[in-house]
C-alpha cells in the first residue's frame, strides 16, 4: 500500500525567508501533485510532476521530483504572507485503468511579518 509522508506538519516562517517542504512516498509512481488549500476552501492545483528530475516553478514556489529517491520537494523563496496556507503533496497510483491519489498529511505554512 502506498504511503505518503510529508514534513514538517507545521511551518512558521518569517517573510523573506526560504524553506523547503518534503514529500516522501513508498512505491513507484508516475505522477506527483502539489496542492494548496486555504482554510475552509478546496484544493488548488499548484504543480504536476511527471518524470525524474522534473522541476517546475511558479512565482516563489518551486517543486522538484526525484523518482529514484521517491522524494519531492516544494521550495519557498522569500516567503510572503499570501503564501500562508496548507500544502499537500499527492501521489498517483494505478490499478489497470483505475487511478487514485494518496495525499500526504499536509504542511500548514504560516508566514509572519
Partner 1 sequence: KAGVTQTPRYLIKTRGQQVTLSCSPISGHRSVSWYQQTPGQGLQFLFEYFSETQRNKGNFPGRFSGRQFSNSRSEMNVSTLELGDSALYLCASSLGTSGRIEQYFGPGTRLTVT
Binding site for partner 1 (CB under 8 A): 31, 33, 35, 41-45, 48, 50, 88, 90, 92, 95-106
Taking the least distance from each CB to partner 1, the nearer of 49 and 61 is 49
* Chain position carrying cell 494505478: 94
Q: How far apart are CA 68 and CA 45, in angstroms?
A: 24
Taking the least distance from each CB to partner 1, the nearer of 48 and 71 is 48
CB 110 → partner 1: shortest distance, Å?
Answer: 17
CB 84 → partner 1: shortest distance, Å?
Answer: 18
Strands 107-112 and 10-14: parallel
Taking the least distance from each CB to partner 1, the nearer of 17 and 100 is 100
Taking the least distance from each CB to partner 1, the nearer of 15 and 58 is 58
CB 109 → partner 1: shortest distance, Å?
Answer: 16
Between the alpha carbon of residue 96 and those of residues 73, 93, 99, 107, the distances in Å are 28, 10, 8, 31
CB 78 → partner 1: shortest distance, Å?
Answer: 28
Q: How far apart are CA 56 and CA 80, in angstroms?
A: 19
User: Cis before residue 5, ω within 30 degrees of 0?
Assistant: no
Question: Could you tell me how far CA 62 lies from the centroid of its own chain?
Answer: 10
Amino acid at each position: 500500500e502506498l504511503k505518503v509522508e510529508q514534513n514538517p506538519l507545521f511551518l512558521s516562517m518569517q517573510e523573506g525567508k526560504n524553506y523547503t517542504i518534503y514529500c516522501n512516498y513508498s512505491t513507484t509512481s508516475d505522477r506527483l501533485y502539489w496542492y494548496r488549500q486555504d482554510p475552509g476552501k478546496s484544493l488548488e492545483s499548484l504543480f504536476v510532476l511527471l518524470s525524474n528530475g522534473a522541476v517546475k516553478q511558479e512565482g516563489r514556489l518551486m517543486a522538484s521530483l526525484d523518482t529514484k529517491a521517491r522524494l519531492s520537494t516544494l521550495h519557498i523563496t522569500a516567503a510572503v504572507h499570501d503564501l500562508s496556507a496548507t500544502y499537500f503533496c499527492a501521489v498517483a497510483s494505478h490499478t489497470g485503468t483505475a487511478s487514485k491519489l494518496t495525499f500526504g498529511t499536509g504542511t500548514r505554512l504560516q508566514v509572519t511579518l
